[in-house]
Amino acid sequence: MGQAGIKHSLNKPFSDNNCGALLSEIGAIISLLPSKNLKILDVGCGSGWTSAFFAKKGHNVLGIDISKDFIKLANINKKRHNLPNLKFQEKNAEKMQFNSEFDCVTFIDSLHHCINIKKVLMNAYDSLKKEGICILSEPGLFHSKSPNSIKAMKEYGVLEKEIPPHLSKKIGKKIGFKNIKVYSRAKYLNFCLYTSNQNLPNFKIIRKLFRFHFIRKLASIFTILFYKRYDGIVFMQK
């Protein structure tokens, strides 16, 4: 990872072009958590920015990642934000062994990089206390076919899968999760309702249509009612 990549990772989400969408997404996940202070396992934490948000909310957080480089950056973030309730470990999610230790396990754009998704979710289930929750915010249909995913797979050799909600639900039910719910991705609502015309993708039709606020409202309704089936936040309980 070059200096530019390190700087970008350390300053996420604010260094990201989709900063508003990322903040919307982490806000939605925080809103899904019970109000009490929790013990959270953040799987595939990367540079630790999501873990830091949970810790700043008052939760006790362990962030794990398979990458030694990312864990180094995560610990820099921990020191920078002075968060004694935040810890990081270098760990492979497919081999993690925690026994009913956590109130919540989160996967935020991380599970789709794993080879054995079912094994990772089984490990997450074992990690949870009784009535504990698992939250997945993962890319849905067609993710692996997107230009960015194809580029990442070619240049960095990372695995890019799509994990639509129906797949998470199917695997979750087999493992034993209950009370499974699917919520709309906040980032799409952010895009539909709040993204300025200057920041919209360079598609003339979208730019023209989104000049009309009622079109934006219709698009957000479509997202809430239908699109979450293909790309949504999945909530499961042990």
pLDDT score recorded for residue 21: 87
pLDDT band at 223 (very low <50, low <70, confident <90, very high): confident
pLDDT at 53: 97
Q: How does pLDDT run across 106-137, given as a tens digit for each residue?
A: 999 999 999 999 999 999 999 999 999 999 99
pLDDT of residue 159: 65
Average pLDDT over residues 18-35: 92
Average pLDDT, the chain: 89
Residue 206, token pair as written in the block: 């979208």
Residue 192: the pLDDT is 83
pLDDT band at 194 (very low <50, low <70, confident <90, very high): confident
Reported as half-sphere exposure (CB side, CA atoms, 13 A), residue 16 has a value of 11
* Model pLDDT for residues 35-64, shown as the tens digit of each residue: 789 999 999 999 999 999 999 999 999 999
Percent of the chain with pLDDT strictly greater than 70: 88
Question: For residue 24, what pLDDT band results from cuts at 50, 70 and 90?
Answer: very high
pLDDT tens-place string over residues 131-175: 999 999 998 766 556 666 666 556 665 666 889 999 999 999 999
Distance between CA atoms of 220 and 185, rounded to whole angstroms? 11
pLDDT score of 216 more than 70: yes
Fold of 3-185+233-237: Rossmann fold (3.40.50)
Distance separating alpha carbons of residues 9 and 43, to the nearest angstrom: 17
Give exposure, 84-97, as e/b (b: 16+ Cβ within 10 Å). Answer: ebbbbeebebeebe
Confidence tier at 22 by pLDDT (50, 70, 90): very high
* Domains in the chain: boundaries: 3-185+233-237
Look at residue 5 in the predicted model and tell me its pLDDT.
82
Return the pLDDT at 141.
Answer: 66
Looking at the chain, the whole-number percentage of residues with pLDDT higher than 90 is: 60
For the whole prediction, is pTM greater than 0.95? no
- Residues making up the chain, counted from first to last: 238
pLDDT higher than threshold 80 for residue 196: no
In this structure, are residues 105 and 128 in contact, taking their beta carbons and an 8 Å threshold?
yes
